[in-house]
Structure 1
Amino acid sequence: MALQVRVITPDKIVWDGDVEEAILPSTSGQLGILPSHAPLLTNLDIGVMRVRLDKDWKSLVVMGGIAEVEQDILQVLVNSAEIGDDITKEDAQADFSEAQSRLEEANKGSDRREQIKASQAYKRARARLQAAGGLV
């Protein structure tokens, strides 16, 4: 029995296929989904979603949204998403280093708005690097 997974952004379908298992970055922690899972609706955080095909795991970066499980169908509606294999480790590492510096600089100041922006950019860059295989 398989779990049908669809990852949808406002402008495209990033993933549409059957998997054996999915792990989502929910706002309350990592959430595993298997076939025959109970109906569920949950918020997603910026992070790495993993799907298992046979014995191989694939990573997708999701940038916040919601996920719904209903009758062996997992629909993930997100602001944006990327497949980990499409991200180069070098680019992801450069983006992560830049985001880390920006966050450190923002945290030295008192502009709360800039701190939040820098924190979000850091989370996105960290997720991209993790999906590219640069972080565990």
Structure 2
Amino acid sequence: MTLKLCVLTPNRIVWDSEVDEIILCTNSGQIGILPNHACIATAVDIGVLRIRLNDQWLTMALMGGFARIGNNEITILVNDAEKGSDIDSIEAQQTLEIAEANFRKAEGKRQTIEANLALRRARTLVEASNATSEQVGAFK
């Protein structure tokens, strides 16, 4: 038995196919979803979505949104998403270094909040781009 996973951004469909299992970052922590999971709706945090498909783990960087799970269908609507395999790891690392520097230089509450958000996004891109099948399996 499989799950129907659909990941959407306001501009495009990022993923729309059957999967065996996912691990999703929510605002209250990670949750694993297998077939016949209880129906829930949840906020999705900035983080890495882990997808098991044919005994292989894939990653996707999610930039916050909402998910609905029910009847073996998962719909995830996020602000932005990028498949780990599509992320340039060198560019992601450079973005992370810039975000870290901007966070250290941030002054005032607003700048600090914005810099922290950019830092979380950059870390997520690096994590999604660097994850291997063995590393993802270790999160289970």
TM-score range relative to shorter protein: over 0.9
Letter of the structure 1 residue corresponding to residue 48 of structure 2: V
CA distance in structure 1 between the aligned counterparts of 2:11 and 2:131, rounded to whole angstroms:
28
CA distance in structure 1 between the aligned counterparts of 2:88 and 2:41, rounded to whole angstroms:
32
Q: Which residue pairs with 1:73 in the alignment?
A: 73
Secondary structure of residue in 2 paired with 1:125: helix
Letter of the structure 1 residue corresponding to residue 44 of structure 2: L
Give the TM-score normalised by the residue count of structure 1. 0.94
Specify which of 101, 114, 119 is matched with residue 117 of structure 1.
114
Letter of the structure 1 residue corresponding to residue 109 of structure 2: R
Give the TM-score normalised by the residue count of structure 2. 0.92
Query: Matched residues, percent identical?
Result: 41
Deviations 1:5-55 (A, max 9, x none): 000000110000111100111001111110100001000111100100011
8 Å Cα contact 2:59/2:131 also seen in 1: no
What is the CA distance between 1:134 and its match in structure 2? 6.7
Specify which of 114, 130, 133 is matched with residue 133 of structure 1.
130
Alpha-carbon RMSD:
1.3
Q: Cα–Cα, structure 1 residues 134 and 15, in superposed 2: closer, same or farther, change >3 Å?
A: closer
Letter of the structure 1 residue corresponding to residue 119 of structure 2: Y
Q: Which residue pairs with 1:56 in the alignment?
A: 56
- Structure 1 runs of 4+ aligned residues shifted over 2 Å read none
What is the CA distance between 1:3 and its match in structure 2? 0.5
Secondary structure of residue in 2 paired with 1:132: helix
Deviations 1:106-132 (A, max 9, x none): 1xx3x1000000000000000000000
CA distance in structure 1 between the aligned counterparts of 2:131 and 2:93, rounded to whole angstroms:
7
Q: Which residue pairs with 1:43 in the alignment?
A: 43
Letter of the structure 1 residue corresponding to residue 32 of structure 2: G
Could you tell me which runs of 5 or more consecutive residues in structure 1 were left unpaired when the two chains were aligned: none
Secondary structure of residue in 1 paired with 2:37: coil
Q: Which residue pairs with 1:22 in the alignment?
A: 22
